[in-house]
Amino acid sequence: MQKEKWIDEILESIDGIKATDTKNISWQTIQQRMNAQPQNYFFETKIKWVAAAAMIVFINVSVLWYINQQHTQPTNNLAVENMAKEMGIENSYNY
């Protein structure tokens, strides 16, 4: 009984509420957006993919250049050769 009374009080409290009217301006903007031509995002995404590919190529080229520079620089093996002479070891660079 008390539960039904509580439900009735809630239902009676919403008796004076009116539905809101949509503004004419908002309805016009919705219609304009629905009728508008879809924007072409193809070029924007294409530019992003080209930029990403260019960065990947740049990173790969710079890594290859760095590795090539390390292998072409003469190595200083003087300390290794002196230690090998002291220990009586013949040092060969046949890896």
* Alpha helix segments (H runs only) across the chain: 2-13, 24-35, 42-72, 78-87
Residue of 54, 34, 51, 33 lying closest to 43 (CA atoms): 51
Q: What is the pLDDT of residues 5-21, one digit of tens each?
A: 888 888 888 777 776 66
Q: What tokens appear for 50 in the block?
A: 């080209």
Taking residues 82-89, what's their average pLDDT? Answer: 78
91 in Cβ contact with 84 (< 8 Å): yes
Higher pLDDT, residue 54 or 27: 54
Residue type present at position 78: L
CA 81, distance to chain mean position in Å, is 51
Say what the pTM is: 0.38
**What does the pLDDT read at residue 51?**
94
